[in-house]
C-alpha cells in the first residue's frame, strides 16, 4: 500500500499561459514585432538585451502539447513560435519567451538548472524564472489588456493544475513581492541567491526553513499537490501545508517515513489531521486500527502493511511499513541517537564519541561549530553538551544566537521571572537571529533546567550594520568602545576571509572598500564573541565554556577560539559537525581538532 507518489517530474516549459491557435505571422512582421518588444521589455524590466533576440516561426509538431504556444531554447539561444499563434496571443507568447532570452543573457539559465530532478529546490528556481517572465508580461500588456493582471489574484487553492498555477501565477506573485520590496534589483539578486524551497516562493515575506538531514525533500508544494488528489482533502491542501519548515524521507528496514517540520504544534496538528483524512480516502480498503503511539492514527492494508500518521510537538510523521515489526523498527531508528563517526586531527584516525569527550574535557574553551538550519547538527551539539555536563557541571554555554545587550533577559528567563514567549520577545530573537526556534530550544532548555549559565555572545546588529556601511574607522568613539578591542591584523584570518567574503555575498566585482568592510564585519563578530565568552567565563566563575557558533567562526581556530583563549590564557579545542559525507574524504582537509560526521 502506497500513500502516494510524491515525485513531480519537472520540465522547463518556458511558455506563456494557454493560448488559442490562429494564423501564422509572417517572418518579416515577426522581426519587426520582436525588435519593438525588446524596447518595451527593457523599459519595464530595467535590463537591456545584450544581443538581439533570434525568433523563428516553426510548424507545430503533431505530438506537441496543445497548451504550448512557443518556447525558448537554451541550447540554440533561439525563440521558437508555432505557426498557429497570432494576434494578442502571439504578443503574450513573444513577451514571455523573450524574457527567458533576457534571463539567459544576464543570468545563464543553464547554470540555474544544472539538475533536471523534480526536487523542491528545482521547482522553486523554475517558479522564479517563469514568475519573472509572467510578471514582466503582465506589466508590458496591462495598459492595453488590463484583465491580464487577474492572474496575480488566482488562488492556488482553487487551481486545477497545482504545479502549473504555482510556477506561473505563484511565481509571478513571488516576483512582484520581490520587486515591491526592493525594485527589479531585488529580482535580479534572486538569480544569484535563488529560492531554495517552494515555501520561499509561496511565502515571499520569508520562511525560516529547517534542514532535517539527508534524504529526499517533498516540500510545501509537494504536500499541497498530494492532498489535492482527493476530494476529501483538496479544499484543505494549501492551509494544511502552510507553516511547513522542512521535511525529509527516511528509508529503513523496508519501511519509509516522512518527517515534516512545521512552525509550531498547531500547524503540525492541522497537517496531521489532513493526512488522516487523505489516507483512508486514497485507500478505502484499508482498515483503521489502534495507533501504536498516542496521538496517532493507523491503518492496516490487505497484506498486513501499516500506514500511520503521528504528531510530535511541531513535527508530523508519516510512516509506511510492510509490517508492524518494520513499523516499530522505523520508530526506534528515528527516535534513537544519530549515527556518528569521529575523526581526530591529532591522532590522524577515527576515535569513539567517548574518547572525543575525554579530550574535550582537557580544554577550557570547547568551540562547537554548526550549520544554523541543520536539525541533526543541533542534536549532536546537545549530545556533546550533555556528555560534557555529565562529567563536569562547572560549565557555562555561550551562543552566537543571542546578542550581548540582551543578557539580562536570558538571566530573567533562567530565574523563572518571564515566560518562554516573553523571553523570545524581549531578546528579539526572531528579529535578530530568525532561525526557527525549535532548532535551539532543546539546547536552551537543557541549560535552563540544569542551571547552566547561558551567555549571549553576539554583537548588536546595529553596530555590525554600521561597520558594513561605513567601515570600522568611521565609527564614533562610543561605537568603538561598545565593540571593544578588535584585532584586524591576524594574517591567517585576513588571508582566508578577505577575498572569500564578497563572493559569498554575491558580489562579482567588489571594490576594495567593500572587501575591507566585509572583512571588518567578520572580524568584529569573531573578536566580540570571543570577548563575550572570556568575560562571561570570568564573571560567572565557571570552569569551562562551551561555545556554539557558526562553523565559519570556529574552523581553523583563528576566529573565536584563538581570540578567546588569548584573553583567558586557557586552552581552546574545536569541533566541526558535518551532516552526511565521507569521513575519509573529510579527513584529507581537517580544519578543526575533531570532525563529527552525522547521518
Nearest CA to 128 out of 194, 208, 180, 185 is that of 194
Determine the Cα angle at 212 with ends 334 and 430, to 5°.
130
What is the predicted pLDDT for the residue at 26? 53
What is the predicted pLDDT for the residue at 589? 87
What DSSP element (H or E) covers 343?
strand 340-344
Residue-wise DSSP of 180-242? HHHHHHHHHHHHHS--SSHHHHH-TT-----B--SS---HHHHHHHHHTTSHHHHTTHHHHHT
Residues 6+ apart with CB under 8 A from 566: 530
**Distance between CA atoms of residues 41 and 98, nearest Å:** 8
108's grid cell: 545563464
Nearest CA to 437 out of 384, 398, 401, 413 is that of 401
What is the predicted pLDDT for the residue at 1? 37
Q: To 10 degrees, what angle do helices 407-414 and 437-449 make?
A: 60
Residue-wise DSSP of 34-95? HHHHHHHHHHHHS---SSPPPEEEEPPPTTS-TT--EEEETTTTEEEEETT--HHHHHHHHH
Cβ atoms of 528 and 480 closer than 8 Å: no
Domain 340-598 is of which CATH architecture? 3-Layer(aba) Sandwich (3.40)
- Could you tell me the CA-to-CA distances from 92 to 138, 161, 389 in Å, in that order? 9, 21, 65
User: Which residues of the chain are under the pLDDT cut of 70?
Assistant: 1-26, 86-88, 113-118
Q: What is the pTM of this model?
A: 0.89
**Distance between CA atoms of residues 294 and 312, nearest Å:** 10
532's grid cell: 563575550
Cβ atoms of 317 and 258 closer than 8 Å: yes
What is the predicted pLDDT for the residue at 5? 31
pLDDT digits (tens, 9 = 90+) for 259-315: 999 999 999 999 999 999 999 999 999 999 998 777 799 999 999 999 999 999 899
What is the predicted pLDDT for the residue at 329? 95
pLDDT digits (tens, 9 = 90+) for 362-384: 999 999 999 999 999 999 999 99
What is the predicted pLDDT for the residue at 587? 84
What is the predicted pLDDT for the residue at 87? 63
What is the predicted pLDDT for the residue at 114? 60
H and E: helices and strands count for the chain: 26, 17
Amino acid at each position: 500500500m502506497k500513500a502516494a507518489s510524491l515525485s513531480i517530474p519537472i520540465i522547463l516549459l518556458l511558455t506563456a499561459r494557454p493560448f488559442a491557435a490562429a494564423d501564422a505571422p509572417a517572418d518579416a512582421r515577426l522581426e519587426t514585432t520582436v525588435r519593438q518588444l525588446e524596447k518595451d521589455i527593457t523599459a519595464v524590466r530595467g535590463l537591456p538585451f545584450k544581443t538581439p533576440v533570434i525568433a523563428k516561426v516553426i510548424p507545430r509538431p503533431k505530438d506537441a502539447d496543445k497548451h504550448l504556444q512557443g518556447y525558448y531554447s537554451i541550447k540554440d539561444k533561439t525563440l521558437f513560435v508555432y505557426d498557429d499563434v497570432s494576434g494578442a496571443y502571439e504578443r503574450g507568447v513573444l513577451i514571455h519567451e523573450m524574457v527567458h532570452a533576457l534571463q539567459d543573457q544576464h543570468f545563464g539559465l543553464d547554470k540555474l538548472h544544472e539538475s533536471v530532478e523534480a526536487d523542491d529546490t528545482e521547482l522553486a528556481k523554475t517558479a522564479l524564472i517563469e514568475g519573472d517572465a509572467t510578471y514582466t508580461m503582465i506589466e508590458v500588456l496591462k495598459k492595453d489588456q488590463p484583465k491580464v493582471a487577474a492572474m496575480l489574484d488566482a488562488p492556488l487553492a482553487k487551481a486545477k493544475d497545482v504545479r502549473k498555477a504555482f510556477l506561473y501565477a505563484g511565481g509571478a506573485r513571488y516576483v512582484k513581492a520581490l520587486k515591491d520590496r526592493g525594485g527589479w534589483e531585488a529580482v535580479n539578486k534572486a538569480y544569484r541567491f535563488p529560492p531554495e524551497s517552494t515555501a520561499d516562493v509561496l511565502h515571499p515575506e520569508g520562511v525560516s526553513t529547517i534542514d532535517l538531514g539527508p534524504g529526499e525533500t517533498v516540500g510545501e508544494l509537494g504536500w499541497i499537490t498530494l492532498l489535492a488528489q482527493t476530494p476529501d482533502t483538496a479544499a484543505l491542501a494549501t492551509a494544511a501545508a502552510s507553516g511547513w519548515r522542512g521535511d525529509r524521507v527516511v528509508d529503513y528496514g523496508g519501511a519509509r517515513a516522512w518527517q515534516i517540520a512545521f512552525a509550531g504544534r498547531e500547524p503540525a496538528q492541522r497537517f496531521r489531521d489532513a493526512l488522516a483524512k487523505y489516507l483512508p480516502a486514497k485507500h478505502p480498503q484499508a482498515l483503521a486500527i489502534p495507533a501504536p503511539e498516542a496521538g496517532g492514527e493507523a491503518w492496516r492494508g490487505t497484506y498486513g502493511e501499516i500506514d500511520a500518521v503521528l504528531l510530535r510537538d511541531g513535527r508530523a510523521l508519516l510512516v509506511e511499513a510492510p509490517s508492524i515489526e518494520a513499523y516499530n523498527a522505523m520508530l526506534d531508528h528515528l527516535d534513537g541517537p544519530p549515527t556518528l563517526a569521529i575523526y581526530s586531527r591529532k591522532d590522524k584516525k577515527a576515535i569513539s564519541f567517548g574518547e572525543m569527550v575525554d579530550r574535550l574535557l582537557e580544554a577550557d574553551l570547547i568551540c562547537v561549530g554548526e550549520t544554523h538550519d541543520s536539525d541533526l547538527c543541533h542534536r549532536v551539539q546537545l549530545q556533546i553538551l550533555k556528555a560534557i555536563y555529565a562529567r563536569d557541571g562547572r560549565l557555562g554555554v555561550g551562543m552566537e544566537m543571542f546578542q550581548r545587550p540582551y543578557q539580562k533577559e536570558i538571566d530573567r528567563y533562567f530565574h523563572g521571572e518571564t515566560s518562554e514567549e516573553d523571553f523570545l520577545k524581549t531578546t528579539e530573537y526572531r528579529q535578530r537571529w530568525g532561525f526557527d526556534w525549535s532548532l535551539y530550544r532543546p539546547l536552551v532548555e537543557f541549560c535552563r533546567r540544569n542551571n547552566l549559565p547561558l551567555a549571549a555572545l553576539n554583537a548588536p546588529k546595529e553596530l555590525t550594520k554600521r561597520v558594513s556601511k561605513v567601515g570600522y574607522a568611521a565609527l564614533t568613539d562610543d561605537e568603538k568602545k561598545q565593540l571593544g578591542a578588535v584585532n584586524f591584523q591576524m594574517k591567517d584570518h585576513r588571508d582566508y576571509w578577505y577575498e572569500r567574503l564578497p563572493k559569498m555575498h554575491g558580489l562579482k566585482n567588489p571594490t576594495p572598500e567593500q572587501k575591507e568592510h566585509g572583512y571588518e564585519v567578520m572580524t568584529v563578530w569573531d573578536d566580540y564573541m570571543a570577548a563575550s565568552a572570556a568575560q562571561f567565563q570570568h564573571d560567572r566563575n565557571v570552569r569551562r565554556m562551551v561555545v556554539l557558533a557558526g562553523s565559519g567562526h570556529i574552523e581553523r581556530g583563528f576566529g573565536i577560539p584563538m581570540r578567546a583563549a588569548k584573553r583567558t590564557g586557557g586552552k581552546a579545542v574545536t569541533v566541526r559537525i558535518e551532516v552526511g559525507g565521507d569521513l575519509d574524504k573529510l579527513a584529507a582537509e581537517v580544519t578543526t581538532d575533531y570532525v563529527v560526521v552525522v547521518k
